[in-house]
Structure 1
């Protein structure tokens, strides 16, 4: 029987009948001589050892014309029938010796043509990674016919016509209108470029320095540069600081009266950053030296007590901070008054205003401490709007704090306000001291939010910021970006000029991450 369960017509299954049918004698067909086990093995081995079936069809892809495989024989064609065993003749192998099996020859097709043995078709050439897609041949796949030539080939001896080129698919027009419901990604706008000036008219003075200050060959260390620029990044804040000589001082060849000090005390998360800004008295001959001395003295005092200050800031001991920093400020400014007395000058002739910021390096501590004496400004840029948070005189009135010019407050444990900050308490060498009218001590602590910009500045920059709305709007646009400006960009922003304001400009900006 065939594998489909029916009995096919014709002679294509005769080999089965001859091998296993009723006419067969034994297991190996009819024979005049008795067969052996070796004869049966040879017959079955010749029957089972056939060529493997043809491989599965190839995936779509046009192979080259010169590598087209021949057509495999039809599935309904009968497999080749092995020849029947021949009776042993005289001189043949004795019983018990296996003869050499014979390879069956392929049977011809019904039309008389010889059938080629099946073989695996050749695979189409693969495209190399560096070749363009056009290198892969395109078009329909052709196979060999029973005559042995490709489908669609020319008659015998004529070259095959190339397949017609495939037309490219029609271009799909891009949509002209976007889905209004789809979310639209818009990159954040860049900050506007910095401006040379704001207001209706430019200032009278030139924008660049004109004259240098007069120099003393024996006191070259006292020369003050026209511009000071500094910056750092600690904890959650980025610092930018600049001090620029005013337009009038540049024109007249006068030194910059503002002084700027940025210092770090300690290491790691226990470090403390101090930024001090001092301004000498106007028209005083040594105003720039008094401002520099005020910054150095407050820096020395804070640096010696930075460990305790860091603990007080992290523990939010506002009362201890206010009283201790008040005392440090009074002692630093008291040295200036004593120096004026030694030089035979009026106390106001050798004095300075002082404003300071304390920034802990601990990223988990966002408390910012401001303290100082004298005019200036403390601003905060939050959500694109400026807030004036300068402590006013009405907010700082109250009980006087122990400091220079007052008898020390003694307790059984000693001077607590001084000992808490680690400052020795010997009698002050500056008593008695002159009692000029003094500015109230200004103190404020604030907790920064991510995205805030805290700005501390002297009077030369605070006055135009309060008096010119255009300057506030311009700086708000420039500094609302979460990324802090670079040093050069920050310097350009602080030099935006406003007519009527020609004093020195010193500004300290703190960007909160």
Structure 2
């Protein structure tokens, strides 16, 4: 029964009885061809050049059959794949891809990219079975092989390009700046040109010389001093540079090995010490310059000892010295500094005795400056022993402030017995008389030991600086050419006259301003008053 309760139809199950009826005859085998070639021909007939039906197919009327390629024919060359950066052709473009000529968005801040040349699309490959021009029922021609690319010549056969100086290339092709308001027609933005150089401070001249001829030696170091592993503590650098600023003054200090010592590989005989004792307004700045004897072997060690010992003596009494400088007690300063200097030279003589040397073989000239850090104090104190120079530059004119020292023969007054006067037993010509026998005895021609060299006088000067002054303390290596070569004095006056003091590098270059005939070590200390 059906779901509605109706009775089934009379012959509803006839198809089942006809399908499985044992009386129905079997179809059996057929006489149709069933080989592999027959099946291929059947499939070829069913699938024509236009698919199912159409001209040339089973459903077409009067069409010609297309040439079926031989299965053994080599396939056509594959279609070249398009690179990611290449634009698709009209045949390859997908519906959602923009046409090749459509405008692309660009960044307004950046200049537009140059238009790329059109990309030639490869010719479309016909489907299998289609005829090609110039071929009739035959395999397609093989693609022509590209011509061989010649190999580049080896590197050794390529001549190097001549290099020209930058200045020559700049002169040949100068860049002309674009006029104001000119813009690029493609992007609408002004072309980027070379930025104008910002005006900077005037560069100071480098190392040079004054005079009619250049110096004999080179301006740069040539040889280093020889030493041993046991003498490493006594090494000194070729150049020492230092500086500071306190109160109303600016300090610059430099010590350089001379041209002669640089060429021969000798150590720098000049020593430089810059040190500050105390703090705030009670601080005291000491600058010490020492020069060892020229012919002595350990001259650089004696100069270093002289600076170190005078620095220690001043440091232990810096509070009293700073107070005397601010109060202007000139007499107390002179006596106290002379006592400290004598003690330092006493230690030098003791050191010479320890080394088995004569006192004049282990000594050094010493010159010092004492500067107060109090802005209200402009008193500058100089003291020392030995040669050198003390100069002041005011209004572009140098003045030699070296304290006057009386000459050795300008001694006045009657001689004192025991200090240069003749003994009572001497005759009219200085011969000593034997009182008991009355026989004149000539002086002995043999001298057991040479007389000690005359002591160097102590030098002291205290002066008040004015705004704009420049005080220069230097060793003999710079004092002698400054006194003997007017061109050097004029050049330094021109460089140091501006109100702003030079930097450390500029001050070092000024100290090394060379002069023909002067090749000793140079040490200079400059004080610029604000």
Question: What TM-score do you get using the length of structure 2 for normalisation?
Answer: 0.53
Report how many aligned residue pairs link the two structures.
Answer: 292
Separation of aligned partners in 1, 2:469 and 2:206: 20
Tell me which residue corresponds to 1:370.
Answer: 382
Contact 1:191/1:478 (8 A) holds in 2: no
* 1:237 maps to 2:254: no
Tell me which residue corresponds to 2:346.
Answer: 334
Tell me which residue corresponds to 2:463.
Answer: 446
- Per-residue CA shift, 1:226-272, capped at 9, x if unaligned? 00000000111100000000000000000000000000000000000
Tell me the CA shift for residue 506 of structure 1.
0.2
Contact 1:191/1:481 (8 A) holds in 2: no
* 1:205 maps to 2:217: yes
Separation of aligned partners in 1, 2:355 and 2:462: 37
Contact 1:367/1:446 (8 A) holds in 2: yes
Separation of aligned partners in 1, 2:467 and 2:266: 41
Largest Rg, 1 or 2: 2
Contact 2:254/2:511 (8 A) holds in 1: yes
| CA separation of 1:228 and 1:398: change in aligned 2, threshold 3 A | farther
Spell out structure 1 runs of 4+ moving beyond 2 A.
Answer: 189-195, 394-399
Tell me which residue corresponds to 1:495.
Answer: 512
Tell me which residue corresponds to 1:322.
Answer: 334
| CA separation of 1:339 and 1:207: change in aligned 2, threshold 3 A | same
* 1:475 maps to 2:492: yes
What secondary structure does 1:481 align onto? coil
* Gap runs ≥5 in structure 2: 1-200, 413-450
Separation of aligned partners in 2, 1:359 and 1:439: 24
Tell me the CA shift for residue 219 of structure 1.
2.1
Tell me which residue corresponds to 1:359.
Answer: 371
- Per-residue CA shift, 1:247-306, capped at 9, x if unaligned? 000000000000000000000000000000001111211100000000000000000100
1:87-486 matches, within 5 Å, as 193-194=205-206, 196-394=208-406, 436-486=453-503
* Gap runs ≥5 in structure 1: 1-188, 400-433
What secondary structure does 2:361 align onto? helix
Separation of aligned partners in 2, 1:355 and 1:291: 11
Separation of aligned partners in 2, 1:214 and 1:496: 27
What secondary structure does 2:229 align onto? coil
Separation of aligned partners in 2, 1:240 and 1:482: 14
Contact 1:347/1:436 (8 A) holds in 2: no
Tell me the CA shift for residue 436 of structure 1.
3.7
Tell me the CA shift for residue 191 of structure 1.
8.6
Separation of aligned partners in 2, 1:249 and 1:343: 24
Separation of aligned partners in 2, 1:471 and 1:480: 14
Separation of aligned partners in 2, 1:258 and 1:357: 16
Contact 1:211/1:251 (8 A) holds in 2: yes
Separation of aligned partners in 2, 1:374 and 1:262: 19
| CA separation of 1:374 and 1:221: change in aligned 2, threshold 3 A | same
What secondary structure does 1:251 align onto? helix
- Per-residue CA shift, 1:417-473, capped at 9, x if unaligned? xxxxxxxxxxxxxxxxx9541111000001000110000000011000000010000
Root mean square deviation, CA, Å: 2.1
- Per-residue CA shift, 1:360-392, capped at 9, x if unaligned? 000000000000000100000000100001112
- Per-residue CA shift, 1:115-156, capped at 9, x if unaligned? xxxxxxxxxxxxxxxxxxxxxxxxxxxxxxxxxxxxxxxxxx
What secondary structure does 2:325 align onto? helix
- Per-residue CA shift, 1:150-183, capped at 9, x if unaligned? xxxxxxxxxxxxxxxxxxxxxxxxxxxxxxxxxx
Separation of aligned partners in 2, 1:334 and 1:464: 32
Separation of aligned partners in 2, 1:254 and 1:447: 39
